[in-house]
């Protein structure tokens, strides 16, 4: 029998966990929200609904036998929200740079996203490049080679080709970035 108040116990367990703040960045309609929903609920919504401001999801996971509380901040991609977004960057550990593999301009615009992030934080979080919509093979216009060249310029730790619609590599992307952040925190 535990003598610890359940509320205190919950707080103690939470303190033992590593908290990671992950930003989801990219242009409108690249699949940021769909990727987060796929990860959080294992589902896919076909209807496009633009994010207004930010949506925050929290999910607990285990990486290398360590408990992680992953705070996922899905930020609006529209330039109209750039002023509001800056406040959401604070204390971020990592960011997904999401592009749509059927729209090359969304890959090119990621440089602006990293510049906006650095301006808000004065440091670079762990970046992971996510090429979304890999399932749309006949419409694909961005090659893996292009992702690699951009990834080098953007200083990403890894590149993941994913599909929010099918779920391909979505969970792997979140676990990968969590592992990189956890490793980085161990060395700091």
Domain 17-187 has CATH 3.30.43.10: no
CA distance linking residue 122 with residue 103, whole number of Å: 30
Give 3-state DSSP helix, strand, coil % of the chain, rounded to 5: 40, 25, 35
Assigned token pair, 30: 């690249």
pLDDT at position 58 is 94
Q: Provide the whole-model pTM.
A: 0.86
Give the tokens for residue 27: 């242009």
Instruction: Determine whether 36 is exposed, middle or buried from the number of CB atoms within 10 Å of its CB (0-12, 13-18, 19+).
Output: buried
Cβ atoms of 54 and 74 closer than 8 Å: yes
CA–CA separation, 158 and 153 (whole Å): 12
What size, in residues, is the chain?
188
Distance between CA atoms of residues 188 and 171, nearest Å: 26
Q: What is the pLDDT of residue 87?
A: 82
Q: How many Å apart are CA 42 and CA 164, to the nearest integer? A: 9
Give me the average pLDDT of each 10-residue run along the chain (188 residues). 45 70 95 94 68 78 92 79 77 97 98 94 95 98 98 98 97 97 85
């Amino acid at each position: 029998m535990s003598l610890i108040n359940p509320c205190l116990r919950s707080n103690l367990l939470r303190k033992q966990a590593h908290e990671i703040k992950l930003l989801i960045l990219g242009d409108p309609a690249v699949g940021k929200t769909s990727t987060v929903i796929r990860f959080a609920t294992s589902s896919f919504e076909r209807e496009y609904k633009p994010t207004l401001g930010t949506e925050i999801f929290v999910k607990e996971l285990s990486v290398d036998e360590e408990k992680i509380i992953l705070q996922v901040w899905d930020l609006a991609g529209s330039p109209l929200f750039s002023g509001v977004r800056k406040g959401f960057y604070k204390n971020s550990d990592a960011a997904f740079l999401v592009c749509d593999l059927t729209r090359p301009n969304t890959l090119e615009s990621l440089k602006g996203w990293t510049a906006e992030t650095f301006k808000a934080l004065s440091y670079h979080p762990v970046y992971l490049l996510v090429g979304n919509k890999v399932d749309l093979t006949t419409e694909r216009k961005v090659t893996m080679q292009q992702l690699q060249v951009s990834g080098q310029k953007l200083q990403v730790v890894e590149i993941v080709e994913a599909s929010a619609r099918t779920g391909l590599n979505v969970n792997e992307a979140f676990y990968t970035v969590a592992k990189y952040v956890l490793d980085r925190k161990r060395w700091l």
